[in-house]
């Protein structure tokens, strides 16, 4: 297995933070990583309700006007990640790795990232599957996790959104990832009970470290 050159990763949990602020922080972290002032980082965060549109999407991915979207209490942000439209909101685990790829193949990175999420779902007794040519993870034919990344000068940003206890009704206002008729689900819906997001985060961090070969967790005041 290809592994990252450095074996330490700093894990930060930002709690619930608005998308614009989180995006700005990611950009700062990318620059720090580029000039060598930081270790690789794994950011965990929840966002207040927001629809983000990636670099291959546009406003046609909305099923309602921007005004009506705001009336639903959902903000809108056009961003530089790959992909089209998705929804982020409370009860969703967002994972943003800021890591230097070195000699890692980008396809390998995406697949390994998704496998780390899939293994987490398996721990909960779910049966995650992948679909060829459609990045993400599905359970029982419904999409439970979406991925959209950016890579600049071999440093990654953006990442995965896993629906844990997410309000799935908000997905009706968009064409999820550009696929009309896509049905979304969550861990809560599939398991029939609310899921402890804190425990999900801890299990995901361990799965991520295992898949990417991080044997050490660099100290951080935000460690989980």
Point out the residues that are catalytic. Answer: 177
Q: Tokens 């935000």: give the residue.
A: 222
Give the whole-angstrom CA distance, residue 14 versus residue 189: 25
State phi, psi for 166 to the nearest 5 degrees: -70, 145
Give the whole-angstrom CA distance, residue 76 versus residue 170: 13
- H helix or E strand, kind and range, residue 95: strand 92-98
Sign of CA dihedral 207, 96, 198, 218: positive
């Amino acid at each position: 297995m290809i592994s990252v050159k450095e074996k330490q990763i700093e894990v930060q949990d930002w709690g619930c933070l608005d998308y614009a602020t989180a995006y700005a922080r990611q950009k700062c972290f990318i620059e720090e990583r580029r000039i060598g002032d930081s270790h690789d980082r794994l950011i965990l965060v929840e966002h207040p309700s927001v629809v983000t549109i990636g670099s291959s999407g546009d406003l046609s991915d909305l099923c309602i006007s921007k005004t009506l979207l705001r009336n639903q209490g959902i903000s809108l942000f056009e961003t530089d990640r790959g992909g089209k439209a998705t929804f982020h909101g409370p009860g969703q685990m967002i994972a943003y790795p800021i890591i230097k790829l070195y000699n890692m193949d980008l396809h390998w990175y995406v697949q390994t990232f998704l496998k780390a999420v899939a293994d987490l779902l398996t721990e909960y007794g779910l049966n995650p599957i992948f679909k060829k040519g459609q990045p993400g993870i599905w359970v029982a034919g419904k999409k439970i996790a979406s991925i959209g990344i950016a890579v600049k000068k071999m440093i990654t940003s953006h990442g995965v959104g896993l629906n844990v206890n997410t309000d799935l009704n908000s997905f009706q206002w968009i064409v999820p990832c550009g696929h009309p008729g896509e049905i979304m689900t969550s861990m809560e819906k599939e398991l029939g009970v609310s899921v402890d997001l804190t425990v999900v985060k801890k299990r995901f961090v361990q799965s991520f470290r295992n898949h990417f070969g991080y044997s050490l967790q660099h100290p951080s005041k935000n460690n989980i």
